[in-house]
Every structure is written in structure tokens, then in C-alpha cells.
Amino acid sequence: MTTATPVAPSPVLDDYIRTHIRAQAAWLSRQRGFRSSDREDLEQELALEVLQRWAKYQPARSGIRTFMVQVVDGRVSKLLRERGSQKAQFRERMQSLDERSANRLSTKGRSPQEQLDLKMDVASVVASLPADLREVCRQLMEGDPPESFSRDVLLRLRCRFEAAGMRDYLREKE
């Protein structure tokens, strides 16, 4: 004789949980990183989360409404964290104009060997520059761009590095 494990009934989003979903979606749509036009999509996403997680419902552990509210609130928290991390990533990418011009040579995502090759190539190009451009490079590499720094100087430097075959190392113009 085998004992059957209780099977959860199919989920029914009763008025209580639909109201909770609507309220959470409305609240989320007023938070930074969301728009009021997101409200309907958020309602659908929260309802879908309840339906997807329904298989994990265990009647012995909690009531049906408690489970649904926990699922909805958990998804709301996750959405807020995701939007917060997107904002943080955006802030990390933000730079002042001086930083943008000073950081044209990108080493992110390069292996240690590629970074070493880059340093050697940069040193070679810098050594071949006229004295005025060499001084500007030195100041840029030290993170101290000169006050009289101009777009023309940056363009001249960029052309020299591109002519030396370093176009792949240069970031796109921002």
C-alpha cells in the first residue's frame, strides 16, 4: 500500500492575490528605473511568476495565499535588485569628458600577455612621437591632462596610434 503525496490544486489567482499583484505592480511602476507604462507588463510578469513557481507549493508548509504573496514579493524584490544593479553598472560606465579622453586605450577584458603587449606597443609609439605629443601622453597616462588639452591634440594622437596599427586597442569614439 503506497501513500499518495498530496498534489496541490491548480493555481487560481483569486481576487486577493490579483489585488496584491496589481498593488505591487502599481508600486513598482512608481519606483526609479520603472515607468508607469510598465505597470501592465509588471502585473503579467508577477502573475506568471506565481504560475511558474506553483509546482513548488507545499500545502503542509503554508497556506495558498501566503505562498502566492511570498512568490510575488520575492519577484518584486528581485526586479528592484536587477534595476538597481543596472543603475550601478551605468554609473560605473559614466565618466567625465576628461576621463573619456584620458582613457581611450582599453585594457579591460585582455589577458595579462595582451596587456603587456599593449604596454610595449604604447611605449614604442610614444617614443616615436614629437616632444609636445609625448608630453601630452605622459600627462594623460598619469591621469593629469593638461589644462590646454584640445580635441585637435587628441585627434593627432589617435591618428598616430591608428597608423601604428593599434586601432583594435582604441575604444570607439564616445
Question: Which residue ranges form the domains of the chain, and what is each CATH number?
Answer: 15-93 (1.10.1740), 97-169 (no CATH)
Buried/exposed code over 39-49 (b: 16+ C-beta within 10 A; e: otherwise): beebbebbbeb
- The overall pTM is greater than 0.75: no
Termini Cα distance of the chain: 72
Q: What is the mean pLDDT of residues 53-75?
A: 91
pLDDT value at position 147? 64
Type of residue numbered 109:
G
Name the strand (E) or helix (H) holding 44. helix 39-53
Summarize pLDDT for 85-128 with one digit per residue, the tens.
655 555 555 544 444 444 445 556 667 777 777 778 888 888 88
| More confidently predicted of 121 and 44 | 44
